[in-house]
Amino acid sequence: DVKVTQSSRYLVKRTGEKVFLECVQDMDHENMFWYRQDPGLGLRLIYFSYDVKMKEKGDIPEGYSVSREKKERFSLILESASTNQTSMYLCASSLSGMNTEAFFGQGTRLTVV
């Protein structure tokens, strides 16, 4: 089975802190994604990566950056956390090809206080 593992289920951080969310997949997938999930808004794409060191902005990249130094690992970075970044963050991975499904991690619920 494909496994996508997010390093934390719950995180509480203070405003202004630099926050790292880590995601690891074990199926050699080319694509990796970070989404943000908020009630009533569905999933919104923050960033995605289609290869090591390659990244593209999604629909809501402001306030976030990403890093993909190894194929299996994709990190989301909040440079200076703010309360409006309190949310559920979901990582996903998929094979290249648009007809392939994405596999999701369990999610990280981040609270910024």
Partner 1 sequence: AQSVTQLGSHVSVSEGALVLLRCNYSSSVPPYLFWYVQYPNQGLQLLLKYTTGATLVKGINGFEAEFKKSETSFHLTKPSAHMSDAAEYFCAVNPRVGNNRLAFGKGNQVVVIP
Asked if residues 91 and 9 have their Cβ atoms less than 8 Å apart, the reply is no
Which residues inside 19-58 make contact with partner 1, applying CB under 8 A?
A: 31, 33, 35, 40-45, 48, 50, 56, 58
What single letter denotes the amino acid at residue 43?
L
Smaller CB separation from partner 1, 59 or 79:
59
Least distance to partner 1, CB of residue 15, Å: 26
Q: With CB under 8 A, what is the number of residues at the site for partner 1?
A: 28
Choose between 51 and 79: whose C-beta lies nearer to partner 1: 51
CA dist list (Å): 25 to 3, 43, 59, 92, 106: 6, 20, 23, 8, 12
